[in-house]
Amino acid sequence: MATDEKLHFVVLPFMAQGHAIPVIDFAKLLAERRDVIVTLLLTPVNHIRVKPILDRSSDRGVRIPVEELAFPAQEVGLPAGCENLDLVPSSPLMVNFMAATAMLQPQVEALLRKMRPEPRCLVADTCFPFASEVARKSGIPRLLFHPMTCFTYLCSHHIVTSRILDTVSDEFEYFDVPGMPHETRFTRSQVKGMADPETPGWVEFNDKLIENEKAAFGLIFNTFEDLERTYLREYEMVRQTRVWSVGPVSLFSKELGDKVSRGKSSTVDVDQCSNWLDAQEPGTVVYACLGSICNLTSSQMLELGLGLEASGRPFIWVVGFGCGDEDTKKSLQELLAENGLVKRVSENGRGLVIFGWAPQVLILSHRAVGGFLTHCGWNSSLEGISAGHPVVTWPLFADNFYNEKLLVDVLRVGVRAGVKQSMDYGKGRDVGIQVRRDDVRNAVEEVMGEGDEREARRKRAAELAEKARKAVEEGGSSHANIGKIIEEVRKFNKDSS
């Protein structure tokens, strides 16, 4: 087929790790299909970050060209080069980051006009409400990529439309979400990351997101049918649009290099990390990582590390600095040095502490790992599910508490560390120490220890991993859905030409 007859998808990832990683995985999956070409729209800094991933893809014969978008960081008061949420120097500046993102619309429109072969579909992250208008002006269908789980969106839809929060006076009082297919109990504090009608401007913002969803040709979720069938079907009904599950997208990466190159370069030597894991007994290691924008206070981070040490199990602990200002980073480093924790565990070989960025998917897929302490970002949650690990849940903000609910109460593969209060994503509020080292130790024991209940949890986790693996295999639901998406887009273009 001549290049200009191929179906051209243009993919616009949002510049935050938890959004860009799955969207770029999805772009690769599209590009691997016959008669499809994919162009990525990236800002220069993000282009540099994902270049190794695209080069690997190109080496395998799947070329994904990039068109660059100039990011107006300085125009909104951000430092030059601040082009990813994890580079924003302090939490209050996240608003400026979002303002810069919204300013990309004219550039995206201009690029779509000049690209050849002509774009036939725009795939954009949910954080680009302007994508709806861009696609309309270009006369092409738009797919909206949701980086979170369908369960979260369905819960937040029912919370907002039922106005249940009007009846809840206390931040920590439990209420049941009306309309869910099973009992789903939350507190106001837990749900406000996705449903916060009291915050000025929130309702208008949410209305825009809903309009953006309804106007989409279809919604894409990084999940799989066997995990979320009921929620996917329900969401299709409430939004009256097509809904496809295409995940876990991380499982399509089978080669070592693909598992290592995700998001950005690892700050630990990958051989050192693999050698340390190789030296551990199967299923004994706890991997602890709180995602790409963890904003725990220094004292809470130390308490977490001390809890891992107290668990008596070997562990890998990722101390990330995403979205913390320089003072926070310095204070954490000083506190850790003063306590001697890092020195102790590296000297006695009990732990590997990674400052910065870990090759998470590689670590989770190592046979030595037996449990995952996670902040319950959806990508991490799904990567844990895909690797068959029971989890200790430590939600921070946004959708994290919804994912904790799914992991602990619905799928029953998780144990709560005991976080009650959201971290107020975007403000960096100090909520004090919520989880003590003993809580960490007990939750780790619950996940890693012996006993019928613990074995049953491990079995459930292993069964889910098997279902996830089947979903991405040829003939599996996610694999098939990618084909269906392409066919529907092709049909739309044919019918409208």
Interaction site with ligand UDP (CB under 6 A): 17-18, 21, 262-263, 289, 291-293, 318, 320, 357-358, 360-361, 377-380, 383
Q: How far is the CB of 61 from ligand UDP (least distance, A)?
A: 25
Q: How far is the CB of 262 from ligand UDP (least distance, A)?
A: 5
**79 DSSP assignment:** P
Strand 285-289 to strand 315-319: parallel, antiparallel, or no bridges (unpaired)? Answer: parallel
Radius of gyration over alpha carbons of the chain, in Å?
22
Q: Output the six-digit token pair for 134.
A: 């861009």
Helix H, strand E, coil C: the string for 215-240 is CCCEEEECCCHHHHHHHHHHHHHHHC
When the beta carbons of 164 and 398 are compared against ligand UDP, the nearer one is 398
Q: How far is the CB of 449 from ligand UDP (least distance, A)?
A: 26
When the beta carbons of 307 and 377 are compared against ligand UDP, the nearer one is 377
Q: How far is the CB of 358 from ligand UDP (least distance, A)?
A: 4
When the beta carbons of 249 and 341 are compared against ligand UDP, the nearer one is 249
What is the rounded CA–CA span in Å between residue 425 and residue 148? Answer: 16
Is the separation of the CB atoms in 403 and 247 below 8 Å? no
What is the rounded CA–CA span in Å between residue 375 and residue 392? Answer: 9
- Going by C-alpha positions, the residue among 350, 344, 231 that lies closest to residue 280 is 350
Q: Output the six-digit token pair for 55.
A: 């080069």
When the beta carbons of 39 and 222 are compared against ligand UDP, the nearer one is 222
Q: How far is the CB of 365 from ligand UDP (least distance, A)?
A: 11
Q: How far is the CB of 387 from ligand UDP (least distance, A)?
A: 11
Nearby residues of 195 by Cβ (< 8 Å), 6 or more positions away: 155, 156, 159, 160, 165, 206
Q: How far is the CB of 362 from ligand UDP (least distance, A)?
A: 9
Q: Please, where are the H alpha helices in 139-291? A: 150-162, 188-191, 202-214, 225-239, 256-260, 270-278
**408 DSSP assignment:** I
- Going by C-alpha positions, the residue among 305, 301, 352, 307 that lies closest to residue 329 is 301
Q: How far is the CB of 26 from ligand UDP (least distance, A)?
A: 13
When the beta carbons of 225 and 383 are compared against ligand UDP, the nearer one is 383
Q: How many CA atoms, within 13 angstroms, populate the side-chain half-sphere of residue 71?
A: 25
When the beta carbons of 84 and 360 are compared against ligand UDP, the nearer one is 360
- What region does 283 belong to: left with phi over 0, alpha with psi -120 to 50, or beta? left
What is the rounded CA–CA span in Å between residue 81 and residue 92? Answer: 18
When the beta carbons of 231 and 357 are compared against ligand UDP, the nearer one is 357
- Going by C-alpha positions, the residue among 221, 217, 223, 160 that lies closest to residue 186 is 160
Neighbours of 31 (CB within 10 A): 21
Q: How far is the CB of 288 from ligand UDP (least distance, A)?
A: 11
Q: How far is the CB of 25 from ligand UDP (least distance, A)?
A: 9
When the beta carbons of 361 and 464 are compared against ligand UDP, the nearer one is 361
**Dihedral sign, Cα of residue 105, residue 109, residue 112, residue 114:** negative
When the beta carbons of 129 and 247 are compared against ligand UDP, the nearer one is 247
When the beta carbons of 309 and 399 are compared against ligand UDP, the nearer one is 399
| b/e code 76-102 from CB counts within 10 Å (16+ = b) | bebeeebbbbbbbeebebbebbbebbe
When the beta carbons of 138 and 253 are compared against ligand UDP, the nearer one is 253
Amino acid making up residue 216 = A
When the beta carbons of 243 and 289 are compared against ligand UDP, the nearer one is 289
Neighbours of 103 (CB within 10 A): 15
- Going by C-alpha positions, the residue among 489, 497, 474, 481 that lies closest to residue 36 is 489
Q: How far is the CB of 447 from ligand UDP (least distance, A)?
A: 18
**Dihedral sign, Cα of residue 87, residue 94, residue 304, residue 417:** negative
When the beta carbons of 40 and 165 are compared against ligand UDP, the nearer one is 40
User: Is residue 131 classed as helix, strand or coil in its secondary structure?
Assistant: helix
Give the residue closest to ligand UDP by C-beta: 18
Q: How far is the CB of 380 from ligand UDP (least distance, A)?
A: 3
Q: How far is the CB of 354 from ligand UDP (least distance, A)?
A: 7
Cα diameter, the chain: 68
